[in-house]
Amino acid sequence: MTQQIFDLSGKVAVITGGSRGLGFEMAKAFADAGAKVVIASRKLEQCEQAAEAITRNGGNALPVACHVGQWSQVEKLMDTVYNEFGKLDILVNNAGMSPRYDTVDEVTEALFDKVIDVNLKGPFRLCALAGKRMAAGDGGSIINVSSTAAVTPSPSAEPYGAAKAGLNALTRSFAYAFGPKVRVNGIMPGPFLTDISKAWDLDKFAELAEQLIPLKRGGQPEEIVGAALYLASGASSYSTGSIITVDGGCAGNAGLS
Q: 2 vs 135, which has greater pLDDT?
A: 135
82 is a catalytic site residue: no
The catalytic residue among 82, 101, 160, 230 is 160
* Segment 139-182, tens digit of pLDDT: 999 999 999 999 987 778 999 999 999 999 999 999 999 999 99
Domain residue spans of the chain? 2-246
Q: Is the pLDDT of residue 12 over 80?
A: yes
Sign, CA torsion 62/23/202/198: positive
Taking alpha carbons only, the member of 7, 17, 204, 252 closest to residue 126 is 17
Average pLDDT over residues 209-218: 87
Q: Which pLDDT score is estimated for 207?
A: 85
The percent of residues in the chain predicted with pLDDT above 90, rounded, is 80
Q: Is the pLDDT of residue 108 over 60?
A: yes
* Least confident window among 116-120, 158-162, 248-252: 248-252
Q: Which pLDDT score is estimated for 156?
A: 83
- d(Cα 123, Cα 208) in Å, to the nearest integer? 31
Q: For domain 2-246, which CATH number applies: 3.40.50.720, 1.10.3720.10, 2.40.37.10, 3.40.50.300?
A: 3.40.50.720
